[in-house]
Amino acid sequence: MLMMDGWMRSSVLHLPVQYTVALPQKALRGERAPLILLLHDLGEGRDQWRDTVRLAMLVEKHQLALVMPDGRRSCFQDMAHGPQWNTWLTSELPDCLGSTLCVNGVQVGAVGIGIGALGAFRFAAERKTDACAAIDPSADTVLAWHADEWPHQREWEGVFGSGDKWDREKMAQTHGLMLGQADKLAQCVRTLGVTQWRQDYREQTELEAQLDYALAYCVEKLVYSKE
């Protein structure tokens, strides 16, 4: 496996964005690998995945490329008045990676954790793919501003708007896999209405095991379901 840090000057966001890429050996030999975006939780960064799971083992096991973008505090959503983070994630980033690395910029899925799972929900809707997964998704921040999580109320409103301005219906029309603790999954169903997503209640499961399961699901949807 090859792991490297990169950055791009985004024409969508109008600012530089950093990311980390993990490539399997087959990509180093010139064979394009399916691409999975790993989206971090609120308050974390792209190192959340690298510091907590054995990425080398997972990349080679599933024969895919993993990209960990830094979404800052956007939850990978388009800002109501500001940068369009999800537009960048769903359109510009895969095309850029597909043209510069030996990855498949068309076969793309996403896995998000915590509040970052909202990015996976939106990614699935925009890309019209079910090769997406949410690990322990948390939706309470969508309902109300919490001073301990969002220091400034305007920052929260910039991501989610207020009240019915946030497009929950678009979330409900997406498909994928939700896995983690039952109470968190039930909360997302109540808040976002993502009942069409397959739910897998895995209580007290280590993050690496959850990610392993999620990647296997995404690879099956990206590769084997198309054969």
Identify any residues that bridge with 65 across adjacent strands, giving them in sequence order: 35
In a domain, 227, yes or no: no
| Per-residue confidence (pLDDT) for residue 171, from 0 to 100 | 79
Q: What is the largest CA-CA distance in the chain?
A: 50
Nearest Cα neighbor of 50 from 97, 96, 110, 4 is 4
Question: Which residues span the domain enclosing 128?
Answer: 2-222
Which tokens in the block code for residue 60?
């080679």
**Residue type for 199, please?**
Q
The domain that contains 177 carries what CATH number?
3.40.50.1820
In a domain, 40, yes or no: yes
Residue 73 falls inside a structural domain:
yes
The string of DSSP letters for 131-197 reads: -EEEES---HHHHS--TTT-SSHHHHHHHH-SGGGS-HHHHHT---EEEE-HHHHHHHHHHH--TTS
- pLDDT tens digits for range 186-214: 988 888 888 889 999 988 889 999 999 99
Distance of CA 195 to the CA centre of its chain: 19
Total tally of structural domains belonging to the chain: 1
The pLDDT value given to residue 162: 64
Q: Does residue 154 lie within any of the structural domains?
A: yes
- Residue 66: phi, psi to the nearest 5? -110, 130
| Residues of the chain falling short of pLDDT 50 | none
Whole-number Å distance between alpha carbons of 20 and 198: 29
pLDDT for the residue 109: 96
Specify the pLDDT at position 11.
Answer: 92
Two structure tokens written together for 135: 């690990």
123 within some domain: yes
pLDDT for 226 equals: 58
Q: Report if residue 57 sits inside a domain.
A: yes
- Indicate whether 37 belongs to any domain: yes
C-alpha 194/C-alpha 162 separation (Å) is 20
What pLDDT score was predicted for residue 163?
A: 54
Residue 78 lies in a domain: yes
**Rounded CA gap, 201 and 225, in Å?**
24
